[in-house]
């Protein structure tokens, strides 16, 4: 499947939609995705629904918002740029003097030409965002503040696609749909994942694939709450996809453990890509891997981005634009990289993809089974080192391809050892 500029053109189509945690912008985005992926199901959680320690917020929609200067001219017009309004701002219609207004304005002194992205999801509040250079030009006088927004009991929407493969074992791709008018931080992920799902669905796969489009944080928490049992049972690998459209190097953000199948595949494919990539730690996390890898959840999910969120100057501002930050080449490179992750997993598919469980507590007595020389010397020990290495990774969770690479063996050699272990009832 050739994408050419298809991914970029789709990003252009959806970037201006008024997305937030919920509301019409999210639904419009999902409906556009569904035009490309008709098999996607649009689902929802109801406002007020408890999801672990959280509660689904009220639905939020905005008709208009702006500030009128003393000279009668409007500034911070929501309908010109959604970032002008603090996310989830309550309805407001009042007149303030300059000093009162300044307390409700957000800008970036270090990026004078950027409108910052600011939200207040879980506390009733309001505010506006503007370029710092424009904030500095505000004159004394009275300013009219107008916000025509509505909070109501409604739903938090998300999209889900399940592509059934030969195996019940699943690979997950997750991206978020709650940020307005930013190209790399959001729109790029939606666009790449949409076309990745289209490519996966072109033919029968060995593994099953689950692709979700969710609001960040609250969406992933709600999704996990609803699907944890199945995810724990069947999910073997997964990726959070965001910030995948710029010209920068790739970046790898690990799972909490750092040693899942996803981590392994990500590093293998990035190295095969023959390009420099940045490696971060779990302490640098910031997207939905926070939820998928949380203690007691511990799903095998990591993330591959281009320039990592928070690591490029345009992040969470109006400067995060198509053309200047996100380019067709960046989107296509990410699309191909994630395709290669899938191809690698599919190529190494086996009914015995994961190792059996070790049947012994502590290291087994190999010599009584004639698997270890009766006289132990440095020379004899080295002869069985590979066998011992393989056995040390047999835990029911580590895949054969992981063990092969960790132990510098072929998958055939690993399978040979496993056959021997099974013969002597060392594994089950």
CATH number, position 95: 3.50.30.90
Task: Supply 225's token pair.
Answer: 């709450």
Which of 152, 169, 188 is a domain's end point? 152
Q: Which of 152, 170, 203 is the last residue in one of the domains?
A: 152
The answer to whether 238 and 172 have CB atoms below 8 angstroms apart is: yes
CB-based burial label for 47 (10 Å; 0-12, 13-18, 19+): middle
Distance CA 204, CA 166 (A): 8
What's the CA gap between 284 and 19, in Å, rounded? Answer: 26
Q: What does DSSP assign to residue 361? A: S
What SS3 class is residue 47? Answer: coil
Closest CA to 11 of 316, 323, 248: 323
Instruction: Tell me how many domains the chain contains.
Output: 3
**Same domain for 112 and 75?**
yes
| Whether residue 387 sits in one domain with residue 343 | no
- Is residue 1 assigned to a domain? no
pLDDT at 377: 59
pTM: 0.90
Residues 91 and 164 in one domain: no
Q: What is the pLDDT of residue 348?
A: 84
In eight-state DSSP terms, residue 160 is: E
Query: Is 355 among the domain residues?
Result: no
| 397 & 341 share domain | no
Which 3 state secondary structure label does DSSP give 68?
A: strand
Q: Which of 142, 145, 154, 112 is nearest to 127 (CA)?
A: 145
Tokens of 152: 């109501």
Q: Is 223 helix (H, G, I), strand (E, B) or coil?
A: helix
State whether 87 and 181 are in the same domain: no
C-alpha–C-alpha distance, residues 60 and 76, integer Å: 19
Distance from C-alpha of 333 to C-alpha of 192, rounded to nearest angstrom: 10
Same domain, 135 and 204: no
Mean pLDDT by 10 residues, the chain (428 residues): 86 97 98 98 98 98 98 97 98 98 98 97 96 97 98 98 96 97 97 98 97 98 98 96 97 94 94 89 96 96 97 98 97 97 90 70 75 63 78 83 85 86 81
Contact, 172 vs 255, CB < 8 A? no
119 and 268 co-located in one domain: no
Q: Are residues 264 and 193 in the same domain?
A: yes
Integer Cα distance of 5 and 47 in angstroms: 38
Q: Residue 379's pLDDT is what?
A: 61
What is the CATH classification number for the domain harbouring 172?
A: 3.40.630.10
Instruction: Supply the pLDDT for residue 53.
Output: 97
Q: Backbone phi, then psi, for 99, in 5-degree steps? A: -65, -40
The answer to the question of residue 331 being in a domain is yes
pLDDT for position 70: 97
User: Is residue 361 a part of any domain in this protein?
Assistant: no
pLDDT on residue 416: 87
- Which of the listed residues 131, 152, 173 is the one where a domain comes to its end? 152
Q: Where are the beta strands (DSSP E) in 20-163?
A: 41-46, 50-51, 54-55, 59-68, 74-75, 92-97, 105-106, 128-129, 142-152, 155-163
Q: In angstroms, rounded to a whole number, what is the distance separating the alpha carbons of residues 357 and 387?
A: 16
Closest CA relative to residue 169, chosen from 256, 232, 227, 260: 232
Domain coverage including residue 51: 6-57+155-347
Q: Please, are residues 67 and 98 in contact by the beta-carbon 8 Å criterion?
A: no
Through-space distance between the first and last CA atoms of the chain, rounded to whole angstroms: 42
Task: Say whether 117 sits in a helix, a strand or coil.
Answer: coil
169 shares its domain with 304: yes
Residues 196 and 323 in one domain: yes
362 assigned to some structural domain: no
Task: Report phi then psi at 209, rounded to 5.
Answer: -125, 135
| Same domain, residue pair 189 and 298 | yes
Residue 81 has a CB neighbour count (10 Å cut-off) of 16
The answer to whether residues 286 and 305 belong to one domain is: yes
Beta-bridge mates of residue 151? 60
């Amino acid at each position: 499947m050739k994408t050419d500029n298809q991914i970029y053109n789709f990003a252009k189509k959806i970037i201006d939609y008024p997305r937030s945690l919920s509301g019409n912008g999210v639904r419009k985005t999902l409906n556009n995705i569904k035009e490309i992926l008709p098999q996607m199901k649009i689902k929802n959680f109801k406002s007020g629904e408890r999801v672990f320690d959280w509660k689904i917020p009220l639905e939020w929609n905005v008709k208009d918002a702006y500030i009128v200067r003393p000279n009668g001219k409007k500034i911070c017009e929501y309908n010109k740029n959604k970032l002008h309004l603090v996310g989830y701002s309550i309805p407001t219609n009042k007149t303030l003097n300059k000093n009162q207004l300044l307390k409700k304005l957000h800008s970036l002194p270090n990026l004078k030409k950027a409108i910052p992205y600011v939200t207040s999801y879980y506390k009733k509040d309001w505010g506006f965002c503007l370029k710092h250079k424009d904030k500095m030009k505000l004159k004394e006088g009275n300013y009219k503040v107008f916000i025509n927004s509505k909070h109501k009991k409604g739903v938090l929407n998300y999209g889900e696609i399940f592509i059934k493969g030969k195996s019940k074992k699943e690979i997950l791709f997750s991206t978020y749909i709650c940020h307005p008018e930013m190209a790399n931080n959001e729109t790029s992920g939606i666009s790449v994942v949409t076309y990745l799902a289209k490519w996966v669905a072109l033919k029968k796969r060995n593994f099953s694939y689950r692709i979700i489009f969710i609001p960040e944080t609250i969406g992933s928490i709600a999704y996990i709450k609803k699907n944890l049992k199945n995810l724990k049972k069947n999910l073997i690998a997964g990726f959070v996809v965001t910030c995948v459209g710029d010209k920068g190097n790739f970046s790898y953000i690990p799972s909490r453990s750092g040693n899942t199948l996803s981590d392994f595949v990500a590093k293998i494919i990035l190295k095969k890509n023959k390009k420099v990539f940045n490696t971060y730690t779990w302490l640098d996390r910031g997207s939905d891997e926070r939820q998928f890898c949380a203690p007691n959840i511990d799903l095998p999910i990591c993330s591959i981005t281009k320039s990592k969120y928070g690591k490029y100057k345009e992040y969470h501002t109006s400067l995060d634009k198509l053309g200047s930050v996100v380019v067709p080449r960046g989107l296509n490179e990410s699309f191909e990289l994630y395709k290669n992750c899938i191809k690698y997993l599919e190529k190494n598919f086996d009914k015995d993809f994961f190792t059996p469980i070790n049947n012994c507590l502590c290291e087994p007595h190999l010599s009584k089974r004639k698997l270890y020389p009766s006289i132990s010397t440095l020379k004899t020990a080295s002869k069985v080192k590979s066998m011992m290495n393989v056995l040390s990774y047999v835990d029911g969770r580590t895949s054969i391809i992981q063990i092969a690479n960790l132990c510098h063996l072929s998958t055939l050699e690993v399978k040979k050892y496993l056959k021997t272990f099974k013969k002597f009832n060392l594994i089950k």
